[in-house]
Amino acid sequence: MCGISGIINKYNKSIDKEEIKKINDLISHRGPDDEGFFYEKNFAFGHRRLSILDLSSDGHQPMHYLNEKYTITYNGEVYNYLELKEELLSYGYTFKSHTDTEVILASYDKWGESCVHKFNGMWAFAIYDKEKERIFCSRDRFGIKPFYYAQIKDKFVFASEIKQFTVIKGWESILNTARGFDFLEYGLFEHTNETLFKNVFQLRGGHNLVYNLKDNSFNIEHWYDLKNTLKESTLNFDDASKEFEKLFNDSVSLRLRSDVKVGSCLSGGLDSSSIVCTVNNLLKDEENSIQETVSSCFDIKKYDEQEYIDEVTNNTNTKSNKIFPKYDDLFKELDNILWHQDEPFGSTSIFAQWSVFKEAKNNNLIVMLDGQGADEYLAGYHGFYSAYLLGLLKGFKISKFIYEFKAYKTNHNYSNIKIIKELIEKLLPSKIRDILRNKNSNKISLFNSSFKDKKHRNNYTDIRSYSISQLIDINLPMLLHYEDRDSMAFSIESRVPFLDYRLVEFVLSLPDEYKINNGETKSILREAMKNIIPNKIKNRQDKMGFVTPEEIWIRENKEIFLNKIEDYVTLSNGLITTNTVKYFKEVVNGTIRFDFTIWRIIVFGEWVMKFNVKVKK
C-alpha cells in the first residue's frame, strides 16, 4: 500500500517540480520506504512506497512497462496477482519483478480498461497510456483505497489524501455547506462524490476516470455496479454455509500474501474473531506461525470486550496485544488524528481504532487484517431487523413474520411498541421521517436548515436493498475512510477479507432468511464458523466494535466540552445554532438521551480550525 499524486497543467505548461514534491511529501506516512516521480511535458506523477510485496528496488514507482509505453502510480494490492501472472505468461508476457504492480500494467496492455474486472483486491491507480495520450484512473469496487481529484486554477490534480491539495497554488479551503449539514445532522459523509471541502471530489468505488490529454477533458465510468452482478441462489442453507466457508477461507488466504509481518485487529465480535480463527487454521502447519492480534479495551465493563477477546486468543495460537485508550490522550491526539483523517469523524470510536493501529506499529506489524464490511451485507446492524420483517410482510409470509417478531423481541429484550415504531418509521417517506426524528429528539433547530440540500434517503423494506445501500452509499464508505487513514497514519496496510467481491456477491444472492433467522443476525456466518470460532463468540447477540465510553467522558468533562461548543457556534457562521448550548446541558443532565451529536459539533469545530476552513452562507 502506498500514496499517489498527480498534477496535470491544462495549457501545456511544464510542471513545477517543487509543487509535485510538496504534495508527495505530505503523504510520506503512506510510503516511508521509497519515493519516485515521473515527468512528462505538462504533467507529473508522484509516488510514496510502503513495501509489502517484493521488497527490492524492482518495486519502485512510478513503474514503466513495455519501454515506457505505460507508466503507473499505484496504491493498493491485487491479491490474485499470482494467478493473473500465470495467465499472462501463457499469452507471452514477461516480467522483471515479483510485484502486483507489473501485473496490473501487463493486464492493462492485454485487456485494456476492462482489466479491472479481473482484479481481486483494493486499489487506486493512474496509468499513463503514451500512445493514446490519456491517463486511465481506477478505484476498486468498494472504494477501499482513496482517490481524490480537484481542478485548481489551470491544474487538474489527483491524490490519495485531501490535504495534498492544500499546497497547490490557488487552493482555497471552503466548506461544502450541504455536506457539512449532512455530517452534523445525520453523521454522514462519503455518501456522494463530494467531500466536505468545496470543489474537492472523490472518485467513487467501482468507478474509472479517463483523462484525455489532447483536449484536457475527462469522463467517469461506473465500471462495477453491484446490483447488476447479483443472481438468485438456489442453494439450501447447509450448502450455502459450506460455500461461504470455502469463499471466506480463500479470501483470508489471499490476504495473507505478504513479504512483511501480518497481524489482525480483534474486537471479540463475530467478524474479527472469524478472521483470527481462520488465520489460525491456515497457519497451523507452518513453523513459527504465531499470529498477533491488537485489541482496544476499557476498564469500564460496559465498554469492554476482554472476556470475548480472551476467549478467542486462548483458543488459538495467538499473541494478544491490548491497549486502553484514555480520555486524557483523546485531545492530545485529536489534532494529529484530524490531520490524517482530512475530514471530521462521527464518534470517538475512531480514536480507539487509531490507538489499535498505533499499538500495531509498536509491535512491528506492517499488515493488519480487519473485519470491515461484514455488517453491511450479513445484516449485522439492528436496523436490518425492521427491513427483514417488512420484507416478510411484503411477501405475505405472515406466520414467519410473527415468529421472527417474537424472536427479535425475546433476544434483544425489546417491547412490542419499540419494534412497531421501527417498522412504521421504515415505511414513512424519508422527509417525514427526518422531521419526526428531529422533533422527538429536540434537535430540529440545532443546525441551520438553509445549508441543507434537497436530497433525502430512501426507504428499504428488504435486507438486500438495505445491504446494497449500506455497502455503496451510507455506511461502508465512511468506515473505509476511517480505516485507511488510521492505518496509514502509522504506515500500516489494512486488509479487509469480508470485502472480497466474490463473497459479497454470493451472500447478496442468498435469501434474506439466510442472514437473519430465529431473531439472530449473520445466520450464515454463524453456521459457517460453528466449528472454527468458540461457541461463546458464535452465540453473541450484542454488538460493540471500536466503542469508547464517550458519554462518560463528556459528562465528566462537561465544562471543557461546553466551552468548545460555545466557541464553535461562533466559528460556524450560522451553521450551528445557539440552541446547541441548551441541548448540550440537557444531554449532560439526562433530560435528553445521549447520542453522537455533541461529538460531531466538537470535531467539526476542531476540523474547521485545523484546515482553516471558511464557512460561507
pLDDT of residue 457: 60
Q: CATH for 2-224?
A: 3.60.20.10
> What superfamily does domain 228-378+475-538 belong to in CATH?
HUPs (3.40.50.620)
Contacts of 12 (CB under 8 A, 6+ apart): 41, 42
Q: Assess whether the region 2-224 and the region 228-378+475-538 belong to the same CATH fold.
A: no
**In degrees rounded to 5, what are phi and psi of residue 405?**
-60, -50
Its sign, for the CA torsion 120, 125, 126, 127, is negative
pLDDT of residue 413: 84
Write down the domain spans for the chain: 2-224, 228-378+475-538, 549-617
Specify the DSSP class assigned to residue 459.
P
Distance (Å, whole) CA 155 – CA 149? 10
Contacts of 177 (CB under 8 A, 6+ apart): 451, 575, 615, 616, 617
DSSP-derived pairing of the beta strands 217-222 and 207-212: antiparallel
Task: Please identify every stretch of the chain with a pLDDT value under 50, giving residue numbers as ranges.
Answer: none
Q: Taking the chain, what is the end-to-end CA distance rounded to the nearest angstrom?
A: 39
| Chain-centre distance for alpha carbon 601 | 22
Find where cell 465510468 sits.
Answer: 221
Known catalytic residue: 115? no
Burial 541-580 (b: 16+ CB within 10 A, else e): eebbbbbbbbbebbeeebeebbebbeebbebbbebbbeeb
Three-class secondary structure assignment of 249-304? HHHHHHCCCCCCCEEEECCCCHHHHHHHHHHHHHCCCCCCCCEEEEEECCCCHHHC
Residue 539: CB atoms within 10 A of its CB come to 11
* Full-model pTM: 0.94
Contact 384, 514 (CB under 8 A): no
